Amino acid sequence: MGKTRRRGVVLEAAIYQAVREIIDQDGIEAVTFQKVAAAAGTSKPVIYRRWDTPFELAIAAIQDKIRQDNQGRTDELVLTGTNLREDLLQVLQRFLISVNTFGRHYLQSLLAEISHHENASLRKMIDYGAQIDIHALERVIQRAHARGESVRTDLTTDLKLLPFDWIRYNILIQADVDTARLTQLIDDILLPVYLRS
CATH number of the domain enclosing 35: 1.10.357.10
Q: Check residues 24 and 151 and name the one with the higher pLDDT.
A: 151
Residues 116-151: tens digit of each pLDDT: 655 676 777 778 889 999 999 999 999 999 999 999
Residues 65-92: tens digit of each pLDDT: 877 776 677 888 889 999 999 999 999 9
Question: What mean pLDDT is reported for the chain?
Answer: 86
Q: Check residues 189 and 6 and name the one with the higher pLDDT.
A: 189
Look at residue 154 and tell me whether its pLDDT is greater than 90: yes
Residue 33 lies in a domain: yes
- The pTM (predicted TM-score) of the whole model is 0.75
Number of structural domains in the chain: 1
Residue 3 lies in a domain: no
> In 10 A of CB 130, how many CB atoms?
15
Instruction: Compute the chain's Rg from CA coordinates.
Output: 19
pLDDT band at 1 (very low <50, low <70, confident <90, very high): very low
pLDDT score recorded for residue 109: 63
Look at residue 161 and tell me whether its pLDDT is greater than 50: yes
pLDDT score recorded for residue 2: 47
Domain assignment of residue 155, given as a range:
8-194
What distance in Å separates the CA atoms of residue 21 and residue 59, rounded to the nearest whole number?
A: 13
63-85 CB burial, b ≥16 within 10 A, e <16: bbbbeeebeebbbebeeebeebb
Look at residue 108 and tell me whether its pLDDT is greater than 70: no
